[in-house]
Amino acid sequence: MPTALITGGSAGLGHALTTALASAGWDVVTDGRDAPRLREATRALGPRVRAIPGDVTDPTHREELVRAATDLGRLDLLVNNASTLGATPMPPVAALELDDLDGAWLTNVVAPLALAQDLLPLLRTSHGVLVNITSDASVEHYAGWGAYAATKAALDHLTLTLGAENPWLAAYAIDPGDMRTAMHQAAFPGEDISDRPLPEAVVPGLLELLRQRPASGRHRVTEFLDAGRVAG
């Protein structure tokens, strides 16, 4: 059976993708910072999902995730989905607290890189796929998004460089677009974001990406959504 490690599986895109893969017969390791929320979110997903509470910025927690993936015997897919906006309300760069930038850097850049480094041997054995969730903010410039955007731009570069250095690895920086999630709501406090698609609507595009397995690179989910809906 194919296997995956997906960070941030208690809500949003991480939960939607974990649910879809488990339903398709994958064994999935996932995590989340809020233990009760993670337990509740994965309760109905069955024994194929192993949920490990913890924060990806914690090296000890990352070791737990690596051990769990190793216990599966193989790893076909690593999805670094866990992310943070940094301080909210989101300040302009001139007012950005450096400690807040450090926090965003640890979650959005250091943790994904550390997991990729530790799991490359397993991914190599299975000729696996690395998916790092990015954002249009990494290539556009939006007031208030400086810390988040800078970290996602760094993640883009690390992802594509890993792909260049490891030709056997399918390495993707994937922009899922705006979604109706708690994190997106936090970026727009008090605004109605009900017009944004639910994370579940994005999953067919990710599954189609895995099916097509294009060359390593930066992609938008919309590139694959129509084909994914047809295939689904």
Q: Which residues are catalytic?
A: 148
Angle at 109 between CA 108 and CA 114, to 5 degrees: 115
**Distance in angstroms between the alpha carbons of the first and the last residue of the chain:** 20
**Contact in structure between 199 and 12 (CB atoms under 8 Å):** yes
**Contact in structure between 132 and 112 (CB atoms under 8 Å):** yes
Alpha-carbon separation of residue 142 from 107, 145, 150, 164, 187 (angstroms): 20, 6, 11, 29, 12
Which 3 state secondary structure label does DSSP give 217?
A: strand
Which 3 state secondary structure label does DSSP give 178?
A: coil
The set of residues, in sequence order, having a beta carbon less than 8 Å from that of 144 and lying 6+ positions away, is 89, 90, 91, 92
